Structure 1
Amino acid sequence: MNYTTGTGDLQNWLVSEDGFRPEWLGKGETVFSLGNGYMGLRSVTEEHYANETRNLFVAGTFNKFAANEVTELPNAADVLWMEFKLNGVRFDLTQGKIHAYRRTLNLKQAELIREVTWESPNGDVFELVFKRFVSMANLHSIAQRVSITPKQQTVLTLTSGINGQTTNSGVQHFLEGDKRLYDGRFMQQIQTTTESGIDFAFHSVHHFMLNETIEPKSIIKMDRRKIFFDYSDMIIPQDETLTIEKYSTIFTSRDKELTVETTEELANHALNVTKEIEAMGYDRLLEEHIQTWNELVWEHAPIAIESNAMFDQLAIRFAQYHLAVMTPKHDNRMNVGAKGLSGEGYKGHTFWDTEIFILPYYTYTNPKIARSLLEYRYQSLSGAHRKAKENGYEGAMFPWESAWLDDGEVTPIWGAADIVTGEATKIWSGFIEQHITSDIAFAAWQYYHVTGDQDFMDRYGYELLIDTAKFWASRLEWDEETKRYEINEVVGPDEYKEHVDNNAFTNYTAHWNINKAIEYVELLRTDKPELFEQLNDKLDLETADERFRHVLDLIYLPQVREDGVLPQDDTYLQKEIIDLTKYKNQENVGSLFLDYNLEQVNEIQVSKQADVMILMYLLEDLFSADVKRANWNYYEPKTLHDSSLSLSTHSVLASDLGDQELAYDLFRRASEIDLGPNMKTSDAGIHAASLGGIWQAVVNGFGGVRMAGGKLRISPMLPKAWTSLTFSIDWQGETLDVKATQEKVTITRRQPTDDAVTIEVYGEERLIVDAFTSEVLSV
C-alpha cells in the first residue's frame, strides 16, 4: 500500500495500491470498499479472480438460511461484474504483462480509480482506467466508468450484467426471482430473501462512447439468478478511447422512504430511478456525490493534523471515511456491523462496538446520527426483554450480537477449532458476556449530556436506563457468607477469561447503571410526574426503585489492592504468569492459540484487550491517576491487543497519564490495523470499532476532550510529532472549533450567543462567550 501519492489539494487524501498481487486481494477489497450507509460494496475488480470475495450488502436486510443458523446480512447480487476480451484475449492481470498498475481510493471524493497498462499474452498493449463510486447523494446508486485505450486497433467483446449467483461463504439467501429487459437496455432482476421475505430490485444499464455515443452489437442472456449482455465486435481504433459507463441501482421492500405496496411497484419505481440516474451521467452524479460528502463529513467535522508524519492525517481521514461509509444514517431500525458493510465477518451483527467505540464520534460530531443509532437499541427492547425472560431475569438484557430489532440473541454458538480437542470451540459471549447492557445505558447517558437532547431522554433515554437497571437488579446473586450481591459466571471485555466471577468492568458498570436509575426515577417523580406515571405503568417504577435502593450498597465492587492494582475478577491475579514476549511481538493476532487452547488461556494471566483499563477510561472519576498508572503497569504487559478495540483505548489512557509519546505509538499501531503493512489483517472486512477508536485517540486523547459528570473538559496535549491539531465538536446544540499547538489551545464558538459556555481547560473552569485561548500546561 502507498500513502504518499496525494499532492496539492489531495495531499493526505489518497490511499493507493501499487502492483497487483492475487494473494492479497482481500486487503484491497476491504480498504478500498465503498458505501453510503444504505449499502456497502466490497471493492473487487470488475473482472473475476480466484480467492476474491464479491460482496454487496444492504443495511438491515437480514436473513436466516436455516433454523440452526443465525441471522446474517445476505450477500446481494454482483452488479460490478464486467468481463473483457481484447482481440480475443481475456483481460486477466495474472496473464500477460503489467507495465503499470495503481489503484487509488480518493477519500475526499469517495471515488475508486484503477489505472492499468497491460500487455496481453499475444503482445497487444492497452491502457485501461476503471472508476466507480457509491453515491452519497443518491443512496441507491452505483456508477462505474471504464476507459480503454489500445495501442493497436482492437476488437472488444464485453460481458456484463447482474449476477445473483453470489453467496455468503456458500450459503444462498435468495430465491431465483424474475428477470427482464426493458427498452432493449435496462436489465432488471428481482430476488427475495428465503426466510425474511425481503424483495430486492436490481437494475443495470450501459452507455458506450467512442468520440460519440455508440450502440454496439449485443444480445441479452439469462441464466439461473443471472441476467447479462454479450456485447461484441466493438472496434476501437489505435490510440482512441472507448468509454463504457454502467449505472446500477438497488432497492428493497424494506426501504423506509418508499411507499410502494407490491413487488411490481417496487420494480417500477427502481426502473424509473435507474433511467433518471443514467440521464444524469457520471460527471453530474459524481459532482452531487462529492458535494454531499463535503457537507456531511469533511466540512462539518474536519480534523487537521500538522505533522512531519503525513500518515497521521491520512489515518484520521481514513477512519472518518469508513465511519461515514458504514453507518446507516437513513434509518433508525438499523445499526453498525462489526465489519461495517465491507465483508462477511461477524455476519453484519451489531456489538458493544457501536456504543463504546463508534457512537462517541457521532455524539460529538453529528448528534442526529448518534440518536438514530440509539433509537435502534430502544426499538430492540422487545428482543432484550425476551432474552432476559429466557434466562430467568427481568428488564432489558441486550443481546451480545444484534440484527433484527426483535431477534434477540444472534451470536453463533460454535466457532474456531480447538487445537487440543479438535472440536469446535463454543462461543460463550451470547450466553454470559453481559456488560453490553450497561454499555448501552452508558452510551445513552453520554449522548444526553453531550447533546442536551431532552426530547431523547423523555422518549427513550430514561426508559433505557431504568429498564437496563432492572435487568442488573435481577441478575445479582446474593452470597450469604459475605452478605453481598455478586455477578458470577460472566465474560468481561477480556474475552480470554470466561466463566469468571465479579469481573470488575461488569460489576462497576452494573452498579453505575443502577445508581443512575435511582437518580432518574427520583427526577421523574419530582420534575416530570406525567412521564413518571407513564413509565410506572410500563416498568413498575415504584417496585423497581425499591429494589434498586436495596441492592445498590450491597453490590460487590472489587477494591484496589495496596499496590494500586484493581483485580480484573476474583481469580485473575492468582493465575499463572508466563513469558508473553513472543506473543507481544507477534506478526499476526491470535498466535497464542497456536500453542494453547482457550481453556488453557483461561488459566494464564494474559488478556485479549483492555478490561480494567477501559473501566478506568469510561468511569474515570472513580480512580486516581496513581491507580490508573498502577493498573497500566500491571495489565498492559499482559495484554496482547488481539482485539482491534484495545490499542485505541490504551492510547487515550496513555494521553490521560501524560505519556504522549506512548499514546502516539499506540495511535499509530491502531491506525495500522487496516492501513498497515500486514496484508492479511482485513480479509474479513474493515475493523469498524477500531476506526471509531482512532477518532477517540485523536480527539479524546490528544485533544483532551471529555464529558465527565455532565461537564465538558478540553485539555489538549499533543505528541511531539504534531505541530498542531484542529478539530470541531458539537456540545449541547452548538459547534466548538478547537485548535491546539504545543504552546496553546484556542476554543472558538462557531455561533456564539450571549450565554457563556462553561468548559474546564487544564483543570480550571472557563466561561467562554465567543473564543478563548489558554497556554498549554504540563501534566
Structure 2
Amino acid sequence: MSDWTWEYEGYDPTAERLRESLCTLGNGYFATRGAAPECRAGLVHYPGTYAAGCYNRLESTVAGRHVVNEDLVNLPNWLLLRFRVRRTGGAWCPWFSPDTSALLDYRHVLDLRRATLTRTLRFRDDDVGVLGVRQTRLVHMGDPHLAALRTVFTPEDWSGEIEIESGLDGDVINGNVHRYRALNGSHLTRVRTGPQEPGTAWLSCRTSTSGIGVALAARTVVVGRSAAPSELRPARRRAVHRLVVPIAPGRPVDVEKTVALFTSRDTAISDPLEAALDRVSTAGGISDLLDSHVAAWERLWRRADIQVPGRAGRVLRLHLFHVLQTLSPHTADLDVGVPARGLHGEAYRGHVFWDELFVLPYLNLHFPEVSRALLNYRYRRLPRACRAAAAIGRAGAMYPWQSGSDGREETQVWHLNPHSGRWLPDHSRLQHHVGSAVAYNVWQYCEATGDTEYLHTKGAEMLLQIARFWADLADFDPGTGRYRIRGVVGPDEYHDRYPGATTPGLDDNTYTNVTAAWVLTRALDLLRRLPAWRREELLERVQLGGDELPKWEEVSRRLRVPFHQGVISQFEGYDDLAELDWDAYRARYDGIRRLDRILEAEGDTVTRYKASKQADVLMLGYLFSPAELRDLFRRLGYDLDDEVWRRTVDYYLQRTSHGSTLSGLVHGLVLARARRAEAWKYVQEALQADIADIQGGTTGEGIHLGAMAGTLDLVQRGLTGLETREDALWLDPVPLPALSEYGFSLRYRGHWGVGIRRRRGQLGIGVPDSEESPIRVVLADRAVTVAPGETCTLELPMS
C-alpha cells in the first residue's frame, strides 16, 4: 500500500461492516457506505446512504415502554447494481453474490488522493467460465449532489450475454445497529418510482414525520455500444433499469451509472425530483466527473494535508479523509452540526454531541468557514437551549447532550446493555458541560480567525447565555464558602449517581466546574472588551441585568474543586468509592473497555468504584495549556503546581478503562507533556481506534469522528503546543520521539498556507507572500515576527 491508498485483500464476511465504514465515500452533503453494489442490507452487508441533517422522528415500544427517537435517516440505496451471465444459448446463471459465488480474487482499494473506491474481483461459474469485474465509485466533491459507479465486465475464454439490473431501492430501513433492532426503523413513506427516457429511472419519497422530500435519479448506460435491449421497470418501492448486453473476450462491457440526489432542504431548487432529473441529465460521463472530482479533492488536500512519516502518517491521512468527507466546504452552506459517527453509519442515531470540541480546533485553521457554519448550527438552536434552561427553573442556555434537527434533547431515556440484555435508565442528559464545549469552540474559532464580527454578535450571545446558565446553576454553600454545581454527570459517564442514591447526578464534577469558571471568565472578558455601544446593545438583546455580572465574577472565582490524597478529585465523594480489582477483571475478560456493561451484567454497578470510562479531570489538560490551567486554578483560589498535576495524572491512569475512543487521544496529549515515555502507547491507541475496531464492532456502525479529528489536532496543537491568542501564534513544542518529524499548513488571519515543519530539532515557520501583516510567533524563550514571503527556522532545545 502507498501513503495514499488503503487496500483490502480477500473477502471476509465478518469484517465486511468494518470495511464498509472505512470505505465510505462522501462530500459533506451526503455519504454512502462502501458496500457491495449487488447486495441489499442484511446481516453481512449494509449499503447505507445519509444526507447531512436529514432526520426523522419515530415512536417505538421497547420492553413495554413507549419511546421516541430521532434518527439520521438511511436514504434509498442508489448503489444497487446486480448482474448474472449465460453462455450463448444457455440458461441464466444465478445472480452474482460474494457470499455464494466461487471467488478467485477479491480486492478493495480506497484511493485517498482521488477519493475513489475500486473493487476488483474474478469469479468462476462452472456453467460459464471466469468473469472479471472492476468497479470504481465516487461521491462527487465538486458537485455535492452527484455520485457515480463504473463497472467493467471482462470474460475469460467464453462468450455469451450479461444481464444487468441497475436500481434505486426505496425499500430500506434504519438497521445498521443491531442493538436498536427493537426500535421502529421505517422512516420513508410515499415512495414513488418512474422512468425517464433515455435510460434514466427515478425514485422520490418523504420522511414520515419531518416531511423531508427526497429524490434520486439514476442514468445507466453501456459505453461504446449501440442500444442494448433495455427495460425501465418501476416497482412499488424500487426502480430498476434492466439491460442485456453481448459479452465476449476482447469485448468487455462498460456500464456507467450516474446518480443525482436532492432533498427539500436544498436551496435554489423548486422540487427535489425535478432538480435530480435535471442534474443527472446534464452530468457528463464518468471520465469527466472523475476529473472534476479529483480536482476538487486536490484543492482540499492543498489546504489540509498533514505530513508525518511512516504508518502513523498513513493513518492520520485516512482520518483527515473521513473528516473532510463529513465536514467539507459544502457543509458551510448547510444547517448541520458535527455528527459523532460521521455520515458513515447509524450509531448514536446520527446525533450531535460535544465532539465538535475535538473537531473545530483543527477546522479553525484550515476551513474556518466550515467552523463558522457549525457554530451557527448551535446559534440557531440557542432559543431552544434557553427554553430548556427555563424548563428546569434556570436562566441562560442549557444545550442538550444529544442534538438533532431542532435542538431539543435527543438523549434516550433508556439504553440497552448488550451484555445483560437489560434496558437501563440513561442519565447522560445531565452532561451539561456540552454548553462549555460550545462556548470553548466560539472562543477558539474567534481567536484563530480574528473574526471579531462573529465574536461580538452571535458568538457573544451564545457565550453570555451559557455563562448565565452556569452562574444560576451554581449555589452558594456557607459551609465551604464556595459555590457548588450539583446533580450533573461529567464526561466520564460511568458515574451518573452516588452508590445507593435514588436520584441521578453528582456534585462538583471538577471538569464541569472548572470549564464553567472558564466560560464565566471569558464572558466577563468579552464584555469588558466590547465597545460601550455594542455592550449596551448586547445586554439589552439578551436582557442581562447589571446585577447579574457581580455574581458572575464571584462564581468564576469561588467555584469548588474537590481534592483528595493530594490529587484533584473527579467529583465530590470520589475518594469514598471502593477500589476495583483491575487485575482480576483483566484476567477474566478479553477486554474491559466497557466495564460498566460488564459489572451490570454481573449484578454490580460501576458507580461503586474508582473507575473511569475516560478520566475527565485529565480532559482539562487536553483543553488548556499548563500555564492557562494553572491560571484558572489560581483564579479559583487553588494552587496547581507540576507535582499535583503529575500525581493526578498517575492516579487516574491506574483507574481508567478507556471505554471511549476519545480516552486514548486525551491521555496521549496529556502524557506528551506530563510523562512522555508513556505517551506513544496512548497515541497509538487513538490512531488504531477505528482501523483496528478496538471497541469490538462499533466502527461498523460509523467511524468515531471526534477521535479521528482529535488525532490531527494532537499533531497540530498537542505536539507543537500551538495556541492562537493575543493576536499571535504561541508555540511550545513537545519532543515525542515516535512523532519527531511532521509538517502541515495553516490558514491564519488572512494568510493561506502558513507552513510549520519540525525536523531534526528545528522548527520551521514559513509565511506565503501576500499583502497581509506579518505574523508574531511566541515561544517560551523568545518571540519572532515572520513577514509574508519569509521563512524562519528556530533551533529547539534538546530534551
The answer to whether TM tops 0.5 is yes
Once residues 425 and 635 of structure 1 are traced to their aligned partners in structure 2, the CA distance between those partners, rounded to angstroms, is 27
Alignment of 1:262-277 (within 5 A): 265-277=271-283
* Matched letter for residue 476 of structure 1: A
* Maintained 8 Å contact 1:383/1:409: no
Alignment of 1:471-620 (within 5 A): 471-498=469-496, 499-524=505-530, 527-559=531-563, 563=566, 565-581=567-583, 586-587=590-591, 589-590=593-594, 593-596=597-600, 600-620=605-625
TM-superposed deviation, 1:583: 5.8
Alignment of 1:79-90 (within 5 A): 79-87=78-86, 88-89=92-93, 90=95
Per-residue CA deviation, residues 67-119 of structure 1 (Å, 9 max, x unaligned), is 83122111110010111112222212222422211101101110000010111
1:774 to 2:794 alignment: yes
Partner residue in 2 for 1:9:
none
Q: Percent identity?
A: 26
1:34 to 2:25 alignment: yes
TM-superposed deviation, 1:316: 1.0
Query: How many residue pairs are counted as aligned between the two chains?
Result: 747
3-state DSSP of counterpart to 2:609:
coil
Partner residue in 2 for 1:329:
331
Once residues 678 and 291 of structure 2 are traced to their aligned partners in structure 1, the CA distance between those partners, rounded to angstroms, is 42
1:652 to 2:650 alignment: no
Once residues 730 and 415 of structure 1 are traced to their aligned partners in structure 2, the CA distance between those partners, rounded to angstroms, is 42
* Matched letter for residue 622 of structure 1: L
* Maintained 8 Å contact 1:511/1:552: yes
Once residues 226 and 428 of structure 1 are traced to their aligned partners in structure 2, the CA distance between those partners, rounded to angstroms, is 41
* Matched letter for residue 325 of structure 1: Q
TM-superposed deviation, 1:635: 0.5
3-state DSSP of counterpart to 1:607:
coil
Partner residue in 1 for 2:243:
231
1:400 to 2:401 alignment: yes
3-state DSSP of counterpart to 1:176:
strand
Q: 1:754 to 1:434 in 2, by over 3 A?
A: closer
Per-residue CA deviation, residues 173-228 of structure 1 (Å, 9 max, x unaligned), is 1112332211242111111111111111110010102xx23322122223222111
Alignment of 1:690-729 (within 5 A): 690-707=707-724, 711-722=728-739, 724-729=741-746
* Matched letter for residue 515 of structure 2: T
Partner residue in 1 for 2:681:
665
Partner residue in 1 for 2:233:
221
* Maintained 8 Å contact 1:20/1:101: yes
Per-residue CA deviation, residues 415-463 of structure 1 (Å, 9 max, x unaligned), is 113867x631111112x11100111111111111111111111221111
* Worse-matched range after superposition: 94-103 or 597-606: 597-606
* Maintained 8 Å contact 1:500/1:569: yes
* Maintained 8 Å contact 1:536/1:542: no
* Worse-matched range after superposition: 60-69 or 569-578: 60-69
Per-residue CA deviation, residues 317-354 of structure 1 (Å, 9 max, x unaligned), is 11110001111624341112111100011111111011
TM-superposed deviation, 1:748: 1.1
* Matched letter for residue 278 of structure 2: N
* Maintained 8 Å contact 1:61/1:73: yes
1:291 to 2:305 alignment: no
* Matched letter for residue 573 of structure 1: D
* Worse-matched range after superposition: 468-477 or 127-136: 468-477
* Worse-matched range after superposition: 544-553 or 89-98: 544-553
Q: TM-score under structure 2 normalisation?
A: 0.89
1:379 to 2:380 alignment: yes
Alignment of 1:231-250 (within 5 A): 231-232=243-244, 234-250=245-261
* Maintained 8 Å contact 1:340/1:685: yes
* Matched letter for residue 682 of structure 2: L
TM-superposed deviation, 1:558: 2.8
Partner residue in 2 for 1:21:
12
* Worse-matched range after superposition: 16-25 or 30-39: 16-25
* Maintained 8 Å contact 1:494/1:607: yes
Q: 1:710 to 1:617 in 2, by over 3 A?
A: farther
* Maintained 8 Å contact 2:308/2:742: yes
Alignment of 1:28-427 (within 5 A): 28-48=19-39, 50-51=42-43, 52-66=45-59, 68-87=67-86, 88-89=92-93, 90-122=95-127, 124-151=129-156, 152-169=158-175, 171-209=185-223, 212-232=224-244, 234-255=245-266, 257-260=267-270, 265-277=271-283, 280-296=284-300, 298-306=301-309, 310-327=310-327, 329-354=331-356, 356-404=357-405, 406-417=406-417, 423-427=422-426
Structure 2's unaligned 5+ residue stretches are 61-66, 87-91, 176-183, 497-504, 631-640
3-state DSSP of counterpart to 1:410:
coil
Q: 1:21 to 1:239 in 2, by over 3 A?
A: farther
* Maintained 8 Å contact 1:339/1:345: yes
Once residues 198 and 95 of structure 1 are traced to their aligned partners in structure 2, the CA distance between those partners, rounded to angstroms, is 38
Q: 1:626 to 1:450 in 2, by over 3 A?
A: farther
1:628 to 2:628 alignment: no
Q: 1:681 to 1:193 in 2, by over 3 A?
A: closer
* Matched letter for residue 188 of structure 2: F
* Matched letter for residue 84 of structure 1: F
3-state DSSP of counterpart to 1:694:
helix
* Maintained 8 Å contact 1:189/1:227: yes
Root-mean-square deviation (CA, aligned residues, Å) is: 2.2
Once residues 580 and 240 of structure 1 are traced to their aligned partners in structure 2, the CA distance between those partners, rounded to angstroms, is 64
* Maintained 8 Å contact 2:193/2:204: yes
* Maintained 8 Å contact 1:673/1:681: no
* Maintained 8 Å contact 2:30/2:343: yes
* Worse-matched range after superposition: 748-757 or 379-388: 748-757
3-state DSSP of counterpart to 1:628:
helix
* Maintained 8 Å contact 1:135/1:285: yes
* Maintained 8 Å contact 2:150/2:256: yes
* Matched letter for residue 611 of structure 1: D
Per-residue CA deviation, residues 500-523 of structure 1 (Å, 9 max, x unaligned), is 210000011111111222222233
Once residues 219 and 614 of structure 1 are traced to their aligned partners in structure 2, the CA distance between those partners, rounded to angstroms, is 59
* Maintained 8 Å contact 1:96/1:121: no
* Maintained 8 Å contact 2:585/2:592: no
Q: TM-score under structure 1 normalisation?
A: 0.92
* Matched letter for residue 662 of structure 1: E
* Matched letter for residue 716 of structure 2: V
* Matched letter for residue 703 of structure 1: T
Once residues 422 and 738 of structure 2 are traced to their aligned partners in structure 1, the CA distance between those partners, rounded to angstroms, is 49
* Worse-matched range after superposition: 391-400 or 584-593: 584-593
TM-superposed deviation, 1:136: 0.3
Once residues 592 and 350 of structure 1 are traced to their aligned partners in structure 2, the CA distance between those partners, rounded to angstroms, is 23
Q: 1:583 to 1:702 in 2, by over 3 A?
A: farther
* Matched letter for residue 23 of structure 2: F
Once residues 754 and 486 of structure 1 are traced to their aligned partners in structure 2, the CA distance between those partners, rounded to angstroms, is 47
1:764 to 2:755 alignment: no
* Worse-matched range after superposition: 532-541 or 740-749: 532-541
Structure 1's unaligned 5+ residue stretches are 7-11
TM-superposed deviation, 1:30: 0.1
Once residues 249 and 175 of structure 1 are traced to their aligned partners in structure 2, the CA distance between those partners, rounded to angstroms, is 20
* Worse-matched range after superposition: 472-481 or 110-119: 472-481
